[in-house]
């Protein structure tokens, strides 16, 4: 009897140990399997172009947004947010001053950083500096923070982790335009950091989908099927006017509920390799249509760019390659 108990304890211990080892191996494969697919390069370019468009939108009214006599001078910002508004947790380059000369110089430095990031010059450094200018604007002008800024800051932060090279032979034709220094990451650490950046982008993108879905469920317009019509009819900045669809309310209701269904199935089914191309195609159609008709073009383009994180990989997709120690 005692021998049976000891055998059971031994088997249970071995089983528990194997579970822990398998879980650890699965964790490492998910987060650190070497990655050298095209998504990193395309994400950097897409995020850079969107950041550039967003940054240029401030140019006509720098003094209005950041000046001493603008809509929110630093003294008023401290009153609204509190004495901690200029703490290290709410860092901003624009806290240095409010003169037009200084804000213009800061804006120009931010522009240069974003251009370097887009072109892949100075890799992680230019990406990190670009992120610092974007987050500086968010902290300095919180009233301007909308749907796009969280997506933009998150994308830049995670891309700063990835290796800066143009890491696929298929993009050699762009080598002159998107200068990267050396072409392919040469160290296992670079490849593992690429994977980590891709996974963080993927997980955070799906988190956005879940948050949007849960938020929309709290609105009556989504339950009643009128949300898409509200976006299309009230926008003054839309590129494509499809308000004629108001004559077919059943179609608008169908599209509204279709959006809800898509936002909940995408985070679940996108991990399936066979269904991924279909879901990425639907994602492209969805975000382009919504961006052109709602006036939320930059936000929709930012969300669409995150779909690149799920771009089909090369031979490392299967995870069969030996996983290097990320340390």
Residue 207 is predicted with a pLDDT of 93
Q: Which residues of the chain have pLDDT under 50?
A: 166-185, 315-327
Rounded to whole angstroms, the Cα distance separating 223 from 228 reads 11
User: Residue 188: its pLDDT value, please?
Assistant: 81
DSSP output for 232-248: HHH-SS-SS--GGGGG-
Which pLDDT value is given to residue 2? 60
User: pTM (2 decimals)?
Assistant: 0.82
Torsion of CA 80, 82, 83, 88, to 10 degrees: -100
Using a CB cutoff of 8 Å and minimum separation of 24, what contacts does 237-241 make? 237/295, 237/297, 238/292, 238/293, 238/294, 238/295, 239/291, 239/292, 239/293, 239/297, 240/292, 240/293, 241/293
Q: What is the pLDDT of residue 109?
A: 96
State how far the Cα of 146 lies from the Cα of 200, in Å rounded to an integer: 22
Picking from 124, 202, 192, the residue whose alpha carbon sits closest to that of residue 156 is 124
Contact 213, 263 (CB under 8 A): yes
Neighbours of 122 (CB within 10 A): 15
**What tens digit of pLDDT does each residue of 169-187 get?**
444 434 444 444 444 445 7
Helices 123-140 & 39-56, crossing angle to 10 degrees? 40
Separation CA 174–CA 177 (nearest Å): 5
- Do 67 and 199 meet the contact criterion of CB atoms below 8 Å apart? no
pLDDT value, residue 83: 52
71 neighbors 65 (Cβ within 8 angstroms)? yes
Structure tokens at 111: 């522009």
């Amino acid at each position: 009897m005692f021998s049976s108990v000891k055998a059971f304890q031994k088997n249970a211990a071995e089983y528990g140990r194997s579970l822990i080892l398998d879980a650890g191996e699965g964790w490492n494969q998910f987060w650190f399997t070497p990655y050298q697919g095209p998504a990193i390069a395309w994400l950097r370019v897409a995020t850079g172009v969107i950041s550039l468009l967003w940054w240029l939108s401030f140019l006509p009214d720098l003094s209005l947004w950041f000046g001493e006599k603008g809509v929110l001078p630093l003294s008023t910002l401290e009153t609204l947010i509190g004495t901690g508004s200029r703490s290290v947790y709410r860092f901003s380059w624009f806290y240095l001053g409010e003169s037009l000369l200084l804000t213009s110089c800061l804006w120009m430095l931010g522009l240069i950083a974003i251009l370097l990031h887009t072109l892949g010059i100075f890799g992680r450094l230019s990406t990190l500096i670009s992120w610092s200018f974007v987050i500086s604007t968010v902290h300095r002008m919180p009233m301007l923070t909308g749907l796009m800024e969280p997506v933009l800051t998150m994308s830049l932060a995670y891309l700063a982790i990835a290796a800066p090279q143009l890491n696929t032979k298929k993009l050699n034709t762009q080598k002159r335009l998107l200068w990267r220094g050396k072409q392919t990451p040469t160290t296992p650490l670079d490849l593992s950091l690429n994977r980590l950046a891709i996974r963080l982008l993927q997980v955070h993108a799906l988190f956005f989908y879940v948050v949007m879905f849960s938020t929309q469920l709290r609105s009556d317009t989504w339950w009643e099927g009128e949300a898409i019509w509200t976006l299309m009819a009230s926008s003054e900045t839309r590129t494509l006017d499809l308000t004629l669809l108001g004559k077919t309310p059943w179609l608008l209701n169908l599209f509204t509920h279709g959006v809800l269904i898509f936002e909940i199935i995408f985070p679940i089914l996108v991990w399936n390799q066979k269904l991924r191309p279909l879901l990425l195609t639907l994602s492209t159609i969805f975000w382009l249509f919504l961006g052109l008709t709602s006036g939320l073009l930059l936000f929709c383009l930012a969300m669409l760019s995150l779909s690149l994180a799920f771009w089909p990989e090369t031979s490392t997709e299967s995870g069969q390659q030996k996983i290097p120690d990320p340390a």
